[in-house]
């Protein structure tokens, strides 16, 4: 309903005596398509994702764009947007190859076919799962470091002045956005994902949220921990979910790290971001290593670390992901 209200509000603003009748007709038309689009928008809004701090201007741009296109909704949005130009596949070939590698090889041709276009409403990147394309900010190849959300990345230890920033950044981001696309493509039920994640989060056998991943260093050979003292993915998930909703909503005390998943995370889109964040955390492991940054290729150690991440999640969550991951990780 927000869509309808904001669009008609805009029209009323422009109403003058001379154009009153014409605008009244337009309002009626917009109201007609608005109902249909509300559903469409709700689906797409699942992908606001990396624009974690959603401001009025940004979200309005999205609504406006979607409202303008309804008649041709059977065609990909990017084809109808003259400003939509695909990113350079050549310039991003290394990143794209590495990103697609972490998924099941059977998905390769599909993932390769997903358009990645410049999208002025995306600060960094966002997926449009039902329309099956990914939009990235116009500064994608140059100055993500100019993003007004750079402090979010810096809080995560990414130094945006570092030349390596872009490679790692693009890798993690594209994995996340492709997961959104794949969730819809594979028909994965968000609600099931949410339930599995919620059970896992409160299950002490999978450890407590912690920013420290050192437990891997002490694991050798067949030694498998009976219970994990720590769980980095739980930590990341909580942090990301709060960032997603609004950075300032992260409690200033440490209470957000405690085991209160059911009580404290309430969202209309349960399971959508959990799916993308957990998947991203497992699949992107290694993207900050010197080797990856230098060569743009995953090393054996990176693959091993991705696999070790499986220890942190439950089989129920793994089942939700189905055959999305490269078997090299999943088995």
Interacting residues toward Zn ion by CB under 5 A: 49, 276
Task: Classify strands 133-136 and 208-209 as parallel, antiparallel or unpaired.
Answer: unpaired
The 3-state DSSP class for residue 209 equals strand
Q: Look-up: residue for tokens 């260093």?
A: 217
Residue 172: CB minimum distance to Zn ion, A: 11
Beta-carbon contacts of 55 under 8 Å, excluding residues fewer than 6 positions away, are none
Write the DSSP symbol of residue 313. Answer: S
Residue 242: CB minimum distance to Zn ion, A: 13
In this structure, what token pair is assigned to residue 99? 């990103």
Q: Which is nearer to Zn ion, 33 or 123 (CB)?
A: 123
Beta-carbon contacts of 62 under 8 Å, excluding residues fewer than 6 positions away, are 41, 44, 45, 48, 121
Write the DSSP symbol of residue 134. Answer: E
Residue 186: CB minimum distance to Zn ion, A: 16
Q: Are 298 and 285 in contact (CB under 8 A)?
A: no
d(CA 77, CA 220): 50
Q: Which is nearer to Zn ion, 69 or 122 (CB)?
A: 122
Residue 280: CB minimum distance to Zn ion, A: 8
Residue 115: CB minimum distance to Zn ion, A: 18
Q: Which is nearer to Zn ion, 27 or 250 (CB)?
A: 250
Q: Which is nearer to Zn ion, 49 or 172 (CB)?
A: 49
Closest residue to bound Zn ion by CB: 49
Residue 125: CB minimum distance to Zn ion, A: 9
Q: Which is nearer to Zn ion, 30 or 261 (CB)?
A: 261
Residue 176: CB minimum distance to Zn ion, A: 6
Beta-carbon contacts of 233 under 8 Å, excluding residues fewer than 6 positions away, are 278, 281, 282, 309, 312, 313
CB atoms within 10 A of CB 117: 21
Q: Which is nearer to Zn ion, 65 or 243 (CB)?
A: 243
What are all long-range contacts of 225-229, with beta carbons under 8 Å and residues at least 24 apart?
225/311, 228/311, 228/312
Q: Which is nearer to Zn ion, 215 or 276 (CB)?
A: 276
* Helix count and strand count (H, E) for the chain: 16, 5
The 3-state DSSP class for residue 230 equals strand
Q: Which is nearer to Zn ion, 49 or 281 (CB)?
A: 49
d(CA 158, CA 302): 19
Q: Look-up: residue for tokens 């993308």?
A: 276
Residue 230: CB minimum distance to Zn ion, A: 25
């Amino acid at each position: 309903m927000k869509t309808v209200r904001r669009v008609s509000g805009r029209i009323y603003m422009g109403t003058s005596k001379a154009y009153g009748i014409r605008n009244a007709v337009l309002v009626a038309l917009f109201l007609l398509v608005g109902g249909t689009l509300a559903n469409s928008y709700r689906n797409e809004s699942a992908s606001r994702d990396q624009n974690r701090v959603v401001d009025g201007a940004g979200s309005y741009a999205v609504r406006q764009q979607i409202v303008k296109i309804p008649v041709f909704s059977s065609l990909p949005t990017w084809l109808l947007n003259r400003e939509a130009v695909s990113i350079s596949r050549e310039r991003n070939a290394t990143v794209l190859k590495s990103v697609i590698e972490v998924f099941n090889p059977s998905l390769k041709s599909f993932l390769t076919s997903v358009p990645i276009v410049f999208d002025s409403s995306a600060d960094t990147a966002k997926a449009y799962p039902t329309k099956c394309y990914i939009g990235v900010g116009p500064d994608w190849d140059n100055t993500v470091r100019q993003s007004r959300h750079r402090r979010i990345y810096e809080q995560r230890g990414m130094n945006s002045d570092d030349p390596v920033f872009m490679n790692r950044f693009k890798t993690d981001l594209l994995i996340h956005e492709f997961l959104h696309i794949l969730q819809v493509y594979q028909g994965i039920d968000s609600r099931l994902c949410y339930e599995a994640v919620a059970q896992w989060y409160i299950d002490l056998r999978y450890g407590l949220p912690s920013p420290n991943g050192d437990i891997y260093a002490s694991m050798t050979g067949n030694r498998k921990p009976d219970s994990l003292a720590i769980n980095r993915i739980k930590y990341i998930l909580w942090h990301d979910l709060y960032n997603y909703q609004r950075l300032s909503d992260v409690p200033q005390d440490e209470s957000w790290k405690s085991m209160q998943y059911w009580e404290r995370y309430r969202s209309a889109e349960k399971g959508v971001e959990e799916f993308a964040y957990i998947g991203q955390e497992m699949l992107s492991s290694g993207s900050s290593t010197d080797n990856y940054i230098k060569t743009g290729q995953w090393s054996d150690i990176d693959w091993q670390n991705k696999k070790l991440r499986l220890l942190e999640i439950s089989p129920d969550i793994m089942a939700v992901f189905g055959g999305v991951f490269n078997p090299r990780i999943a088995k």
